[in-house]
Structure 1
């Protein structure tokens, strides 16, 4: 019953993300933890806005292999890493929005600082717009194992509290469950749009 509910919530989140236009052209991947050893993750090459329950695969977090031998997302390794590293992470959403993709390219540092926005409080643990929120940025890599190693090497306090950006690629964010991960995604997308607009206006 719990697995059925988790899957239903993840499918609904995927449809919402698709309607927002945050995962165009079959991009992105979504997952939810089932237990300490397994997670459900979206099948590779599927449109996230029309995903059905049967298009999620049960994957071993340690081996990253699907139980039924179908092909999970190419980026399963990053999901598995976060589930291994953070026992309280229950769901991960990876999107390819315009704001996240562009902002990750125009920010030259290896982190993005968000400060002064009331919407920062949409992120768990954030209580003031005056407290800077750091989001780690990693250079893109077609070698997911190598990218996962670089993410694993970053200190968890250094921009890995709510999610991270992959340069020119998109956003990974997470939460204790699908509901919290979705709130973090929506909050971060709003913050990214505000920050990008602020920079555009200041550049004029």
Structure 2
């Protein structure tokens, strides 16, 4: 019986399809490593697929990750049905689950991007707005790549505009929460931010990084890329004395 269960668990991460969650997590982590998002062993991604949640392990270098390193959780019970020997699940797991539960997201990305960290520090100074607990920006074209809520409509209107996304004249607002000594302790404040800011697709963590989610892997990835572009642009604008919200 145990051998049958083990074989079934192993089958969950075996596939020739590059878009299978176990393969996709590894390839995306390698890509994120080249962006500087997951330097060292920090950051990562989780994918909710059908009845399972696929999670990267803790302490494994992201550019060297292999499918056999991946944890698999049963979505309904939240119990692990595949646990790689000698590895621990990501400390980000409670945060990923919060995005899946609160927003019905299917993918959540966590980065330690330097631009995300710098934006939280600039907000902390109060030089770009009166509220240090939110990063706000408008009238920048890339904002149109951000969906309302992070798991909204992907329907395309005439002219190519995505319904459910922010517009050029909308003010994008990303809440910022305080960091904690242990990542799993961020869950409560992250969930509070998700509830308080129903249109956000991400939560920044002060002096730490950002969590970004989407209705699928593609949306989560493109929004993480768009946000990182906007974070970097915000830092450069600040150097030039330009305001993020006009």
Shorter-chain TM band: 0.7 to 0.9
Separation in 1 of the partners of 2:171 and 2:217? 25
1:21 is the counterpart of 2:44: no
SS of the aligned residue for 2:240 comes to: helix
- Distance in 2 (CA, whole Å) between partners of 1:72 and 1:139 is 23
Cα drift, residue 200 of structure 1:
1.3
How does the TM-score come out when normalised to structure 2?
A: 0.74
Shift of 1:106: 1.9
Q: Determine if the alignment matches structure 1 residue 48 to structure 2 residue 62.
A: yes
Q: Which residue of 2 aligns with 1:132?
A: 171
Give the TM-score of the pair, scaled to structure 1: 0.88
Q: Give how far 1:69 is off.
A: 4.0
**Cα distance in 2 between the residues matched to 1:43 and 1:117:** 36
> Deviation at 1:72?
0.5
Instruction: Report the counterpart of residue 156 of structure 2 in structure 1.
Output: none
Structure 1: tracts of 5 or more residues without a match: none
CA apart distance, 1:126: 2.6
- Give 1:102's aligned residue: 118
Q: CA deviation at 1:60?
A: 4.2
Number of residues paired by the alignment?
Answer: 201
Q: Which residue of 2 aligns with 1:83?
A: 100
How far is the alpha carbon of 1:159 from its aligned partner? 6.5
Structure 2 portions without partners, runs of 5+: 1-10, 125-131, 148-163
- What are the residue-to-residue correspondences of 1:115-126 with 2, within 5 Å? 115-124=138-147, 125-126=164-165
Contact kept, 8 Å, 1:60 with 1:66, in 2: the verdict is yes
- 1:113 alignment counterpart: 136
Cα distance per residue 1:123-165 (max 9 Å; x no partner): 1233422100110110001244542111222353626621111
Structure 1 runs of 4+ aligned residues shifted over 4 Å read 1-4, 60-65
Matched, 1:150 2:192: no
Per-residue CA deviations over 1:72-127 (Å, capped at 9, x if unaligned) read: 0112111111111122x111110111101111122121110021110011112334
Partner of 1:11: 26
2:212 aligned with 1:173, yes or no? Answer: yes
Contact 2:93 2:184 survives alignment (8 Å): no
Question: How much does 1:68 deviate?
Answer: 3.4
Contact 1:135 1:159 in 2 (8 A): no
Q: CA RMSD in A?
A: 2.4
Structure of higher CA gyration radius:
2
Which stretch shows the higher mean deviation, 131-140 or 77-86? Answer: 77-86
Alpha-carbon distance in structure 1 between the residues aligned to 2:53 and 2:166:
31
